[in-house]
Amino acid sequence: MKYCEKPILGCKQFSAIILAVVLMAALSTSGSALAKEQVVSRESSQLLGKLSNALAEVAEIARPVVVNISTTSTISEEENPLGDMFNDPFFRHFFGDQGNPGKKRKHKSSALGSGVIVSPDGYILTNDHVVKGADEIKVILFDKREFKGKVVGTDPRTDLAVIKINAKDLPTIKIGDSSKLKTGDIVLAIGNPFGLNQTITMGIVSAVGRSNIGLADFEDFIQTDAPINPGNSGGALVNSDGELVGINTAIYSTSGGYMGIGFSIPSDMAKSVMDSIIKYGKVIRGWMGVSIQNLTPELAKSLGFKETEGALIAGVEGGSPADKAGLKQGDLIVDMNGKKVVDSTSLRNMVAASAPGTKIDIKIIREGKEQTISMTLGEYKEKKVIKKAEYENALKDVTVEELNPSIRERLNLPENLNGVVITGVSADSPAQGLLQANDVIQEVNRHVIQNAQDFEQIVSKIGEHDTVLLLIYREGGSIYLTIKP
């Protein structure tokens, strides 16, 4: 439709009249608004004022305990006389990873993070990745005082660390019960994003119990939409009571900046790790001695379970607390000390948070019947890389490592896959060209391999001239290989 096709007045005259009417109406409305100014209701103003005062009070309590941590590290790099040619994908496609043929050079690298004061005498809780590899650690307090920090202990498996400064009468914060957090709770994130000291952001708890993210071996993250950015790592997540409920650790981002998803380590886990580091200089964890996996609908149907949640035992280590207590492969653990076991991650976290020597009661489902089994937890020992250089046989100079959650995540391995992962094969090993890094050895000469101890016991008995039969898992499937000396 077109307007002003046959106007009584000219188009210009008509437009002028319309414009005048509109202006008169606007002036009338404006005059009315000026005559009667709109205001926020008293009730709304009081409500918002109370909220504002409450948030300011929480911030005032929490701000003094959050510190700025700056680190300096020495990084060694190979100088490359050919520039970036060796890093070019086209070059690598034809010539492989040749490395940089130049000499090494060293340079200093700086990084920023945050930390939380947990004791008046200078203990500070932060992330392992904030202080990892640092030559120097500088801590700047809320009142601008600067101190040299020293690492007391770290725990890469939870990405936590404790450092110490030589100071007294420092402000501290009450550590809250993170298990009481609910989705929707208001939280404040305090830290030093991009070096901007004492930045406070607000949000809610988006979710609790987040795991399988790939940030650490033991994961039970609080997810929040409180804006977290680089530099916030190690800072405080605080609830509405002004209590520490989490240590800010990471963000989900495709740009490197805030995208609405941040992760914090729960204060319950952080306190357990912190107490152990301060007392022992390392983390002491409980240990059952079982290999566990999640109960999927397919497994539940195949094994005849009516339950939909729990941790399924895939293997029991000989001589372990679980073995002595009578746990068996195929048992489904559904409860530990009255706490529901949802999946393998929840059980792993419960056991790890318990001290060695702790007596526990676990409920299992075996052949359709519920049973309660008591046991005393042992101490978890870190599995170390084992190199078979001392054995003169077909597996000489093959380096293996225990499977752990981090390796499983990195290699995308099935939960029910057991064995040891190959980390290296030396050039003069008989297995060179047949075995490769990231292969998982499941069997050696028809003997099932559950862990590095099994591997060591079996390989040590292989003769110098014996051919070895291996079952390995590689790139999504299992294959048999024979290795001749």
Burial of 172 (0-12, 13-18, 19+ CB in 10 A): middle
Catalytic residue among 178, 206, 211, 233: 233
Burial of 234 (0-12, 13-18, 19+ CB in 10 A): buried
Q: Measured between alpha carbons, how far is 125 from 360 in angstroms, rounded to an integer?
A: 29
Would the CA dihedral through 180, 183, 184, 190 be positive or negative? positive
What Cα–Cα distance (Å) separates residue 99 from each residue in 8, 27, 86, 232, 257?
Answer: 86, 76, 7, 35, 32
3-state secondary structure (DSSP) of residue 474? strand
Amino acid 131 reads: V
482 and 443 in contact (C-beta within 8 Å)?
Answer: no
What Cα–Cα distance (Å) separates residue 218 from each residue in 277, 402, 406?
Answer: 16, 16, 9
Burial of 422 (0-12, 13-18, 19+ CB in 10 A): buried
356 and 284 in contact (C-beta within 8 Å)?
Answer: yes
Instruction: Specify which residues 263 forms β-bridges with.
Output: 223, 250
Burial of 97 (0-12, 13-18, 19+ CB in 10 A): exposed
Q: DSSP for 53-65, please give it.
A: HHHHHHHHHHGGG
Catalytic residue among 70, 114, 155, 159: 159
Catalytic residue among 70, 128, 129, 291: 129
Taking Cα atoms as reference points, which of 201, 189, 203 lies closest to residue 249? 189
Active site residue 129: yes
Q: Note the helical H segments in 153-307.
A: 267-280, 297-303
Taking Cα atoms as reference points, which of 437, 461, 433, 427 lies closest to residue 447? 461
List, by residue number, the catalytic residues. 129, 159, 233
